[in-house]
Chain A
Amino acid sequence: MALTALFDIGKSGILTYQKALEVVSHNVANAATEGYTRQDLVFQNIPSGVLSYAGVTGRGVNIKEIRRMYDSFIELQLKNESSRLGYWDVFQSGMLRLENIFNDASDIALSNAINDFFNAWQELSQNPSGIAERNLLLDKAEYLTQRFSLSYRALLDERYEIYKDSQNFVNQINQYLDQINELNEKIVANPGALDAKDQRENIVKQLNDIVNITYFEDNAGRYSILLNGMPLVDGGRVYHMNVRLDGNQNLQFLLETVSGDIDATRLIQGGKLKAEIDLRDTIIPEYMNKLNMFVFDLTDAVNRLHRQGYGLDGSTDNNFFNQLYDLISGTPDITSLNISGTNVNTYHRYQIQFDGTNWTVTDLSTTPPTSITPVVTSWTDGTPPVNYYQLTFNDINIILRNPSAGLDFTFQIKPNTALYFDVAITDTNKIAAASENPLTVSGPMDNRNARAIYGLLDSAIVGNAKPIDFYRSIVSEIGVYSSSAKIQKNFQEALVQDIEKRRQDISGVSLDEEAVNLIKYQKMYEASARVIRVADEILSTLIEMVR
């Protein structure tokens, strides 16, 4: 073996350790990079290929490979749990906003407005002819209606915001899909592009946080991304997503495929986007409906009594709040129209016909119109006796006074009922505090109707619950949702942190470890350099010898 081989061996050491130092430096530099996978070197000796009698010597060292310290199982777990964390994170912050709308822990709670409204009736009962009391009542009633519209509007805004958010999410998804596709091609072209893999891993994770996906690596190293079985990135093709609102104002996600758009809403089963869908189209509408029901039934109960009473000016049959249903045709004498629950059919248009014995109810909002069999009860009351009929169908209760044969009318409960919640009375003299005409029969101190309306505070008028009880059940329910979301989120956070710890164990960069490696490789580098110097010295000695 030639003496000059020493130079080569030394050189291999220098180059190898220089590369090793580069890798260590890269690790140190990326110690704080999210999703960075620590790189490690595998050294290999170079065999000489020459046999001598004394044995085999080598030709130095080189790098066998630079490895990413990567555990695909932990990575998968991390992606899954982090996607769940994304879901609960968004869900919980949504519930927090909902809580703020219904925050009864604060002093300006909505329930105070309800109490104040009824207290104003009580106040009026003490001085039924008082202008101040009457004005106070109108003020409190208007405040109540405004608070309800405000809360309802806040829920509507929240839905709109979530729609905007989901558009951003969809844009982000599409961007990620494009990036993954691009990185796929880079990796296929250059399988050693470790950092590209890191980058792709990171993007897949981000994508998975937004929407739960599945993925696998093909032979060439491409990732195929699937959304519940439907491909998003596959074989160099990207299928973009779109979001819009469907006929029911619900979110609808569309996937652009070769054969046209398909509805992908149901395919979204996890991640932040699922939380958005759940919040916007399940949770919030539930509470919007509850507010609607509250407002509708409260209006019906107050109006029903108010119509029976008399104002200071002798006027009667006036509504206190605006009527919250539309009479499209017919002139029925409706004593009461309330709802005991809300469902998809609540806001439909109904036609009711009476032939003298039988009742027919038709849901006109379906195509074709569907016929409904109502539960009918009837009774007589008062002198002279008045016939009342109560019809119950689809959680709607109507009480009709003295219906005549041939009665035919169509009505519809206003959608977004709470937005129409408003005080109908403008003239304080028309507030019906009296049970009989104060001008002719009783007198201005007749407070019986005011007391009766105050009594509604303690009657089951909203879906078989007292107003405050119904309202506080809403608040409490949101509290339960929100607190369980918080617990879920915390649990998920701890889980993700735990997996992250395990991931860091394998893939993370410890500065101390890198420092040790740095010294190690530095020393190796120095030693290799020394080898070259020794070789140089030996060569010099040899040349001196010749001279």
Chain B
Amino acid sequence: MKVTTGFFYRTFLSDINKQIEEMFKAQRQLATGKRVLSPSDDPVAISRIAKYKSEISALDEYKRVMDTAKIYNSATEKAIDDLKRMLIKAKQYAVQGSTDTLSPTDRLAIAREIDTLIQRSIDTANTKVSGRYIFAGFKADTAPVNAQNGLYQSDTNLQYLDISFFLDVAVNLPATEFFTYTVDSADPNRNLKVLTPYNYNFTGDVNAPYDADPLGALLMRQPSGGAITDPTLAFTTNGGTLTIRLSDKQAVTVNISANSSLNDIRDTINNDPQASQYVKAWVVNYGTSSSPDYRIVIGSVPNGKSDMIRIDVTTTDAVGTGLNLLSYNPETGNLSMSFQENINGYNYITDPTDPNYYSFNNNYLNENYYLRALHFLKVALENNDQGRIQKAVDYIDKIADKLFKQQSIIGARLNKIETITDYNLEIETNTKVALSNDQDADAIKVISELNRRMSVLQALRTTLTDFFRSNLFDFLR
């Protein structure tokens, strides 16, 4: 086969070009550090590269989100810690205040300290982190707790952030969980006053909370004939009179007409201009909605002194039925009503749909009412009420428990963030390794490839010049 000069030349040229082209590519790979320079270099890899890059970009963003979530939750944890410390301080004051040796003036001084604690607690609940109140809901631009009345005024929404492809974490903690009443949205007129004195006189106050005695109230016994399933049916056959007295106050007589139902008795007591100054009556479902058990509960007005109520009954109803069930007189031993402590988890009403559920179960010495507990202690100290001061210690323990619970929730969140940080880090590392495998040039491989091409190119050039240096014409003289 004849190889012509021109063809030889052209083939040579295209061979050199091929080598240079490959070297250029290798050089570009070295310069950019990337193996895949354009989609056609490896269409499968390019698809994966785009996916890996997208994942890494999302992971980077998650990292930022986790930092944000961490900042807010750490701040929350710190704030709860502060609240806890103040509560411990308050408890120490309570213990101190309950000792007999203290004078009323000393107790008044301690009350001032408690007042400071209340204000500091409100300030702590209104902690602001990078412009946001961490104990608020979505309305995080306004202070969640009103510094004047201690009422929670934000919402209860949790703000969640996504911290991985499948997990989210809340970054705020609406203080309702331990700080305030749950206001009944169905009746906003129950303008609950967190910082109400426990001996506040609600009479005549249209916005007064329909609150039961925070300490306890008198609960009617179940009739011997079985539970009352309908409070509108006749309860007393013959009617009679109730003589009600609170502590050393003047006794009040309330006439109950014959065939009155539980509801009628309640209304008669509550509508009596004099009786309603001492006591307040409720009809509550002590059972459940499916098996009702209606009773009358009588509490003192002001709250907190129910155990000082005396109720003497004059009736011709049979013993153990009717009005006889409403007597309460520890001095004479005539006790058919029982005095129920509310604080130790005792709840009159178990059915959350009951209209009085809030009044009884969420009253201000519920474990959720941090401020009310402190306030209760403060008022007790001011009033030199040693018994109440003693009680306050129990309440404060209860609330500390709740705070621990909340702190553990935050701890769980932080733990979750920590775990996901590790997890995301691992995913990121794996993805980056995968990306690097697909995208990055193996420098050693590329350099050796480059060297190989270089020597081939040099050989080509040498042979080319040697070959073309002379042809037959040079030898023809």
Whether a CB of chain A sits under 8 angstroms from the CB of B1 is: yes
Q: Once the chains bind, are B5 and A478 in contact (CB under 8 Å)?
A: no
Q: Once the chains bind, are A443 and B58 in contact (CB under 8 Å)?
A: no
Stretch in B151-159, B251-259, B349-357, B402-410 touching the partner:
B151-159
From the candidates B5, B40, B47, B162, name the one contacting A486 in the complex (CB within 8 A).
B40
A506 CA to B68 CA, complexed, in Å: 79
Q: Once the chains bind, are B61 and A123 in contact (CB under 8 Å)?
A: yes
Chain B positions 24 through 66: 1 when the CB is less than 8 Å from some CB of chain A, otherwise 0: 0000000000101111111110110111011001101110110
Q: Once the chains bind, are A472 and B50 in contact (CB under 8 Å)?
A: yes
Chain A positions 445 through 482: 1 when the CB is less than 8 Å from some CB of chain B, otherwise 0: 11110010011011000000000110111011111111
Whether a CB of chain B sits under 8 angstroms from the CB of A373 is: no
Chain B residues with CB under 8 Å of A100's CB are 38
Chain B residues with CB under 8 Å of A447's CB are 159-161
Whether a CB of chain B sits under 8 angstroms from the CB of A119 is: yes
Q: In the assembled complex, how far is the CB of residue A345 from the closest CB belonging to chain B, in whole angstroms?
A: 30
A128 CA to B157 CA, complexed, in Å: 14
The A contact surface, by secondary structure, is helix
Chain B residues with CB under 8 Å of A505's CB are 1-4
Whether a CB of chain A sits under 8 angstroms from the CB of B188 is: no
A125 CA to B49 CA, complexed, in Å: 27
- Within residues 490 to 545 of chain A, which ones have a CB less than 8 A from any CB in chain B? 497, 500-501, 504-505, 508-513, 515-516, 518-519
Whether a CB of chain B sits under 8 angstroms from the CB of A50 is: no
Q: Which residue in chain A gives the minimum CB-CB distance to B142?
A: A443
Which of A123, A511, A513 has most B Cβ within 10 Å? A511
Chain B residues with CB under 8 Å of A483's CB are 39-43
Which of B36, B64, B157, B165 has most A Cβ within 10 Å? B157
Whether a CB of chain A sits under 8 angstroms from the CB of B216 is: no
Chain B residues with CB under 8 Å of A486's CB are 40
Chain B residues with CB under 8 Å of A13's CB are none
Q: In the assembled complex, how far is the CB of residue B48 from the closest CB belonging to chain A, in whole angstroms?
A: 8
Q: How large is the interface on A (under 10, 10 to 19, 20 to 34, 35 or more residues)?
A: 35 or more
Chain B positions 134 through 175: 1 when the CB is less than 8 Å from some CB of chain A, otherwise 0: 001111110000000000001101011110010010001000
Whether a CB of chain A sits under 8 angstroms from the CB of B368 is: no
A458 CA to B7 CA, complexed, in Å: 58
Q: In the assembled complex, how far is the CB of residue A39 from the closest CB belonging to chain B, in whole angstroms?
A: 14
Q: Which residue in chain A gives the minimum CB-CB distance to B475?
A: A515
Answer whether A472 and B47 are a contact pair too, CB < 8 Å, given A99-B39, A119-B58, A445-B136: yes
A96 CA to B136 CA, complexed, in Å: 56
A479 CA to B48 CA, complexed, in Å: 12
- Within residues 165 to 217 of chain B, which ones have a CB less than 8 A from any CB in chain A? 165, 168, 172
A472 CA to B11 CA, complexed, in Å: 39
A479 CA to B42 CA, complexed, in Å: 7
Q: Once the chains bind, are A504 and B7 in contact (CB under 8 Å)?
A: yes
A508 CA to B7 CA, complexed, in Å: 8
Chain A residues with CB under 8 Å of B41's CB are 105, 479, 483
Answer whether A446 and B157 are a contact pair too, CB < 8 Å, given A508-B2, A510-B4: yes
Whether a CB of chain B sits under 8 angstroms from the CB of A258 is: no
Stretch in A109-117, A209-217, A300-308 touching the partner:
A109-117
Whether a CB of chain B sits under 8 angstroms from the CB of A129 is: yes
Q: Once the chains bind, are B58 and A504 in contact (CB under 8 Å)?
A: no
Q: Once the chains bind, are B5 and A444 in contact (CB under 8 Å)?
A: no
Q: Once the chains bind, are B7 and A443 in contact (CB under 8 Å)?
A: no
Q: Once the chains bind, are A504 and B2 in contact (CB under 8 Å)?
A: yes
Q: Once the chains bind, are A119 and B42 in contact (CB under 8 Å)?
A: no
Whether a CB of chain B sits under 8 angstroms from the CB of A32 is: yes
Answer whether A443 and B138 are a contact pair too, CB < 8 Å, given A122-B162, A508-B7: yes
Answer whether A32 and B6 are a contact pair too, CB < 8 Å, given A515-B471, A515-B476: yes
Whether a CB of chain B sits under 8 angstroms from the CB of A126 is: yes
Q: Once the chains bind, are A112 and B57 in contact (CB under 8 Å)?
A: yes
Q: Which residue in chain B gives the minimum CB-CB distance to A476?
A: B47
Whether a CB of chain A sits under 8 angstroms from the CB of B132 is: yes
Chain B positions 462 through 477: 1 when the CB is less than 8 Å from some CB of chain A, otherwise 0: 0000000001110010
A515 CA to B472 CA, complexed, in Å: 6
Q: Which residue in chain B gives the minimum CB-CB distance to A472?
A: B50
Q: Which residue in chain B gives the minimum CB-CB distance to A114?
A: B54
Q: Once the chains bind, are B51 and A508 in contact (CB under 8 Å)?
A: no
A466 CA to B465 CA, complexed, in Å: 58
Whether a CB of chain B sits under 8 angstroms from the CB of A438 is: yes
Q: Which residue in chain A gives the minimum CB-CB distance to B56?
A: A115
Answer whether A482 and B39 are a contact pair too, CB < 8 Å, given A122-B65, A445-B138: yes
- Within residues 367 to 381 of chain A, which ones have a CB less than 8 A from any CB in chain B? none
Answer whether A115 and B58 are a contact pair too, CB < 8 Å, given A473-B47, A497-B11: yes
Whether a CB of chain A sits under 8 angstroms from the CB of B98 is: no
Which of B39, B61, B64 has most A Cβ within 10 Å? B39
Q: Once the chains bind, are B2 and A445 in contact (CB under 8 Å)?
A: no
Whether a CB of chain A sits under 8 angstroms from the CB of B439 is: yes
Q: Once the chains bind, are A104 and B49 in contact (CB under 8 Å)?
A: yes
Q: In the assembled complex, how far is the CB of residue A46 from the closest CB belonging to chain B, in whole angstroms?
A: 30
Chain B residues with CB under 8 Å of A337's CB are none
Whether a CB of chain A sits under 8 angstroms from the CB of B14 is: yes
Q: In the assembled complex, how far is the CB of residue A376 from the closest CB belonging to chain B, in whole angstroms?
A: 35
Whether a CB of chain B sits under 8 angstroms from the CB of A102 is: yes
A501 CA to B8 CA, complexed, in Å: 9
Chain A positions 116 through 144: 1 when the CB is less than 8 Å from some CB of chain B, otherwise 0: 10110011011101000000000000000
From the candidates B1, B7, B54, B155, name the one contacting A468 in the complex (CB within 8 A).
B54
Q: Once the chains bind, are B6 and A31 in contact (CB under 8 Å)?
A: yes
Q: Once the chains bind, are A112 and B472 in contact (CB under 8 Å)?
A: no
A519 CA to B477 CA, complexed, in Å: 10
Q: Once the chains bind, are A123 and B64 in contact (CB under 8 Å)?
A: yes
A479 CA to B172 CA, complexed, in Å: 47
Chain B residues with CB under 8 Å of A443's CB are 136-141, 154-155, 157
From the candidates A95, A96, A126, A510, name the one contacting B161 in the complex (CB within 8 A).
A126
Chain B residues with CB under 8 Å of A109's CB are 50, 53
Chain B residues with CB under 8 Å of A282's CB are none
Q: In the assembled complex, how far is the CB of residue B6 from the closest CB belonging to chain A, in whole angstroms?
A: 5
Q: Once the chains bind, are A458 and B159 in contact (CB under 8 Å)?
A: no
Q: Once the chains bind, are B36 and A513 in contact (CB under 8 Å)?
A: no
A235 CA to B274 CA, complexed, in Å: 130
Q: Which residue in chain B gives the minimum CB-CB distance to A508?
A: B4
Q: Once the chains bind, are B39 and A115 in contact (CB under 8 Å)?
A: no
Chain A positions 88 through 114: 1 when the CB is less than 8 Å from some CB of chain B, otherwise 0: 000000011001101111000101101
Q: In the assembled complex, how far is the CB of residue B134 from the closest CB belonging to chain A, in whole angstroms?
A: 10
Whether a CB of chain B sits under 8 angstroms from the CB of A442 is: yes
From the candidates A442, A444, A475, name the one contacting B46 in the complex (CB within 8 A).
A475
Q: Once the chains bind, are A500 and B7 in contact (CB under 8 Å)?
A: yes
A32 CA to B53 CA, complexed, in Å: 52
A-B pairs with beta carbons under 8 Å apart, 5 shown: A31-B4, A32-B6, A116-B57, A451-B168, A480-B40
Given contacts A472-B46, A483-B41, 20 further A-B contacts (CB under 8 A): A32-B6, A100-B38, A104-B39, A105-B36, A119-B60, A125-B161, A129-B141, A443-B137, A443-B157, A447-B160, A448-B160, A471-B50, A479-B39, A479-B40, A479-B42, A483-B42, A485-B40, A501-B3, A504-B3, A509-B4
In the complex, the 9 A-B pairs of residues with the closest C-beta atoms, listed nearest first: A479-B39, A443-B138, A479-B43, A443-B139, A508-B4, A482-B40, A472-B50, A476-B47, A515-B472
